Structure 1
Amino acid sequence: MGALTGQGVVVTGAGRGIGRALAVRAAQEGARVVVNDLDAATAQAVADEIGGTAVPGDVTAPDAMIDAATEALGRVDVFFANAGIDGAGGPDSLQAPDDVWDRVLDVNVMAHVRAARVLVPRWLADGAGGRFVVTASAAGLLTMIGSAPYSVTKHAAVGFAEWLSVTYGARGVDVHAICPQGVRTQMLEEAGGLQALLSRDSALEPEQVADATVAAIEEGRFLVLPHPEVAGYYAARATDTDRWLAGMRRLQQKVDEAGALG
């Protein structure tokens, strides 16, 4: 009997990539799974594959989706807030327009906040607790060369998950933050010249991320680090921030010279 066995699980952005892998693994663990994705066809395909229920919809307005998931499952015990977008890259993402920032913030941060607003009061009210799992990124711990909206919002996603754990962890709400580096998904395929940088410690398969997530849940660890090297980088950043930033600036110069963001 694992932590997900018999649980009512929702996975957002589950039509492909990490979300799909999480949904498949949850079903393998014996969970009852609701598959959410903006693309209704891919959500249905994954649901059919795992014997789950498809509830497509936009995660930035999650109330109706959560209500439909609750009706299908009886209760949402575990919520994987996985859906995310990368936003603007290019040689100068500082110039990304406000509407891009607004959309990336909406999906990568506020969608988590809005889902928690609905779920946490329900978990507290019935006394059974719940589990909230945010798919962030190593970019949320270390900073990301490239897209400013992505890096900033992933920091915010980790920060919100930490706040949620601090505030409600003693009241039965377990929280985890998934922070991988490169993963073989559509986002990595579309990273252009940054693929090599994102994969410098090897690009993982989405299934490996799902395995690491289940292991962290079983062990009660907040941070899910599918790339274990990230723990060392995170410690180095905290220990000597100026040295860390100097190293990142050197890396940025190499990227600039290679034209990877052009």
Structure 2
Amino acid sequence: MGAEQTHERFGIGGRVALVTGASRNIGRAIALTLAEAGATPIVLYHQDEAAADEVCEAIAERGAKSAKFQADLCDVPRLQEIVGQIEADFGGVDILVNNAALRPNSKISDITITECDEVFAINLRAPFFLAQAVLPHMVRGGWGRIVNIGGSDAYQGKARRAHGVATKSGIAGLTRALALETARFGVTVNTLVPGVIDTERPRPEWYPGIETGFAQRKERLPMARLGTPQEVANACLFLASEMATFTTGQELFVSGGTCPLVRQPLEEYEADEF
């Protein structure tokens, strides 16, 4: 299938797509995949400008336009400023992908107010206010797509991540509420829930024993392998495209067959002390 046929099939040629956390991993794959379908990705990154530049270069190699903006997702006025700048430069955001998230590994007894506030600000408040900022343009144009990246922990529960689990549960609720508010205006809002994905993010220095844990989890997965960022990006493209015009308020699991309601074995956490 040629590039023109691909653009026509997905129906997002020329659409402007704001992707948070787009400088690496799943966010990067989503930005590049949307570019290949003819969209104009806006790369939102936090600190690694070199990585953001690399993504923009890769987008250009695919024949698409792009732009990048630096932002701390805790800074809502900055996010609103960026959306305003995108409207001035590109006409507005047609596709919003709330991908960036923070998932620290902390026992409930160790979570500080500062850490909790940061997790809630990045994982839930930022998607809320970004949606608020982009929706007027979407409603005026009678077309829009919001894809919130959720987490399987919101359905399974996860010890030592109470704050992160709470925010991902909030994302699911936010999706359903916004879907009902916007359904009459040609806007769809959905949650995309990745399973265990092979990214560079789970670093041993952040999560002691992560390499052993990943090997064990891999063996328990129905497909006996980890998912890839590209597989998540493919699902995101579907939700962002004209192929999903009657799909809103839904949760799409990209988990290799893992049931979202099956909890992890309790024995993994029995040694924890408060």
Band of TM-score, shorter chain? 0.7 to 0.9
Q: CA deviation at 1:139?
A: 1.5
Selected match of 2:59 from 50, 53, 70: 50
Whole-Å separation in 2 of the counterparts to 1:214 and 1:224 = 12
Q: Deviations over 1:44-93 (max 9, x none)?
A: 22112212211221233211121222233222110111111113x14x23
The two structures have a TM-score, normalised by structure 2, of 0.80
Whole-Å separation in 1 of the counterparts to 2:170 and 2:117 = 14
1:49/1:182 CA distance change after superposition, 3 Å: same
Aligned-pair identity (%):
21
Whole-Å separation in 2 of the counterparts to 1:152 and 1:13 = 20
Q: CA deviation at 1:16?
A: 0.2
Summarize the alignment of residues 123-202 of structure 1 with structure 2, pairs less than 5 Å apart: 123-124=138-139, 126-189=140-203, 190-193=206-209, 194-196=213-215, 199=218, 200-201=220-221, 202=225
Which segments of 5 or more consecutive residues in structure 2 lack a partner in the other structure?
1-7, 61-65
Whole-Å separation in 2 of the counterparts to 1:110 and 1:137 = 16
- Correspondence for 2:257: 229
Summarize the alignment of residues 29-48 of structure 1 with structure 2, pairs less than 5 Å apart: 29-39=37-47, 40-48=49-57
Q: Deviations over 1:151-187 (max 9, x none)?
A: 1111111111111112212222211211112112233
Q: CA deviation at 1:41?
A: 2.7
- Correspondence for 1:240: none
Q: Structure 2 counterpart of 1:158, which letter?
A: A
What SS does structure 2 have at the residue aligned with 1:165? helix
Q: Deviations over 1:109-131 (max 9, x none)?
A: 0001111121112322x242311
Whole-Å separation in 1 of the counterparts to 2:161 and 2:216 = 13
Q: CA deviation at 1:197?
A: 6.0
Summarize the alignment of residues 82-93 of structure 1 with structure 2, pairs less than 5 Å apart: 82-87=99-104, 89-90=105-106, 92-93=107-108
How many residues in Structure 1 have an aligned counterpart in Structure 2?
242
Q: Structure 2 counterpart of 1:79, which letter?
A: L
Summarize the alignment of residues 114-125 of structure 1 with structure 2, pairs less than 5 Å apart: 114-124=129-139
Could you say what the CA RMSD is over the residues aligned between the two structures, in angstroms? 2.3
- Correspondence for 1:12: 20
Q: Structure 2 counterpart of 1:42, which letter?
A: A
Q: CA deviation at 1:255?
A: 4.3
Q: Is 1:81 matched up with 2:98?
A: yes
Q: Is 1:68 matched up with 2:85?
A: yes
1:44/1:72 CA distance change after superposition, 3 Å: farther
